[in-house]
Structure 1
Amino acid sequence: MARVKTDERIAVAMAELLRRQGYAATGIKQVVEAADAPIGSIYHHFAGGKRDVAAAALRQSGAAYGELVGMLLAPYDDPAEGIEAAFVAAAETIEQGGWLNMCPVGTVAGEIADAEPALREVAAEVMSSWIDAGTALFAARGLAPADARSLMSAVVSALEGAFIVARTQRSTGPLLAAGRAMGSYARALGAQVGSGANSESGEVLR
């Protein structure tokens, strides 16, 4: 089996620590111990130290989460069904995981939005990539591009917010409720397409 490169191990370890405890509480010593790497390797691979490791971790974990969401949505021709199924899966996962935080990107973004502008930009870049991918998928399912982007923006926002409420209340209810709400929104947008309404102009296509 191929050995995982040191820089990749460090980024994976950082992502898990960020997910569990956030940016401020995570120290370089914890990262190298979790990655089973010498402390000198941090600065060999990441010249900017902790901030650069965190940026790499956010990009790497963000790509993985984006692929996961895409895999959950892709089997469904109906966007509403796919969205509701994705939120149900998220609810089951967070409950089975003992209510641990699901997403390091959202955790770090909420913590450092003002204190670490560079990391905020990385988190924004990752979230934008999720929205771009979801927009393409929903557009392929028949939604107008503007509606597809609005829907995916709402889905990302609802999912990240529902994670926080679910963890706080120790309940899957917030995720399931958010999933139903996003499903209803998707159905409303789909109904506009079916009726020939142009959501950008408010006119009926002829």
Structure 2
Amino acid sequence: MLGEDDKGAGVTTSRERILEASTTLLRRQGLSGTGIKQILTAAEAPFGSLYHHFPGGKDELADETIRTAGAAYGLLFPAIYGDAPDLVTGTTTAFALAAIDLEAADYADACPIATVALEVASTNDRLRRATADVFNGWIDEGTALFAARGLDESTARRVIIALIAALEGAFVLSRALRSTEPLAAAGRAMEAVVRDALDGAEDTSV
């Protein structure tokens, strides 16, 4: 017989459920607004399971949540841009999908990495490092992807940093205003940035 922590087809472990619940709640409420009991209730996990899987308590859980969610979000880069005919179209799609997802969630769900980063940047160095590691991973992955699509590495890095900053900032404004207008405006601005970068790459190759 399978126990709750046995792995098999269609079986989620208590550890996985805790991470999933933590990701959802951090995305919606941030770190300070999310309590351990709330996470365990959402995960339908007994209290003892938290310290069994995460002996360091809330900080350890938040650290792993950030890194796990960050890796999952990082997969969106190749998924979106890999199917796009060019970087401009991929950028348009990225911001359009972000707007659709945010509106569908009634502006409750945004990026858990940025949500936590705003809280912990000057108060919790362990979690600040976790968010920094995720952002650096996104920058490296995005830089490699953009460089493979025609930009030199320095330009690719500059553009991807601007893209991530524009997306995360637009999430904040959109949630506060309960409008996708900031995401639409940021998307159009980034389309122009990407187009200019590609035009510059073509000029230097002539």
Query: What TM-score results when the alignment is normalised by the length of structure 2?
Result: 0.92
Work out which of the residue numbers 155, 162, 167 in structure 2 matches 1:159: 167
Give the letter for the 1:194 counterpart.
Answer: E
**Which residue in the other structure is 2:200 paired with?**
192
Matched, 1:80 2:88: yes
**Which residue in the other structure is 1:21 paired with?**
29
Work out which of the residue numbers 91, 95, 105 in structure 1 matches 2:99: 91
**Shift of the alpha carbon at 1:2?**
3.3
Query: For structure 1, which segment, 75-84 or 146-155, has the greater mean C-alpha deviation from structure 2 after superposition?
Result: 75-84
**Shift of the alpha carbon at 1:100?**
1.2
**Which residue in the other structure is 1:172 paired with?**
180
Indicate the RMSD between aligned Cα atoms, in angstroms: 1.3
Deviations 1:64-119 (A, max 9, x none): 11112331121123211111111011111111210113111110000111111110
Q: Which runs of 4+ in 1 moved over 4 A?
A: none
Matched, 1:139 2:133: no
User: How many positions carry a matched residue from both structures?
Assistant: 198
Counterpart CA distance in 1 for 2:99 and 2:153 is 28
Contact 1:77–1:141 (8 Å) recurs in 2: no
Structure 1 residues 143, 77: CA separation in 2 closer, same or farther (over 3 Å shift)? farther
**Shift of the alpha carbon at 1:187?**
0.9
Counterpart CA distance in 2 for 1:16 and 1:95 is 16
Counterpart CA distance in 2 for 1:99 and 1:182 is 22
Deviations 1:94-153 (A, max 9, x none): 112101131111100001111111101101111111111111111110100011111111
Counterpart CA distance in 1 for 2:78 and 2:30 is 25
**SS of corresponding position for 1:114:** coil
**Which residue in the other structure is 2:13 paired with?**
5
**Which residue in the other structure is 2:108 paired with?**
100
Counterpart CA distance in 1 for 2:78 and 2:197 is 20
**Which residue in the other structure is 1:200 paired with?**
none
Give the letter for the 1:84 counterpart.
Answer: T
**Shift of the alpha carbon at 1:5?**
2.0
Counterpart CA distance in 2 for 1:176 and 1:93 is 13
Matched, 1:56 2:64: yes
Structure 1 residues 83, 115: CA separation in 2 closer, same or farther (over 3 Å shift)? same
Contact 1:101–1:163 (8 Å) recurs in 2: no
Query: What TM-score results when the alignment is normalised by the length of structure 1?
Result: 0.92
**SS of corresponding position for 1:183:** helix
Give the letter for the 1:145 counterpart.
Answer: E
Report the identity percentage. 45
**SS of corresponding position for 1:101:** coil
**SS of corresponding position for 2:75:** helix
Counterpart CA distance in 2 for 1:124 and 1:153 is 13
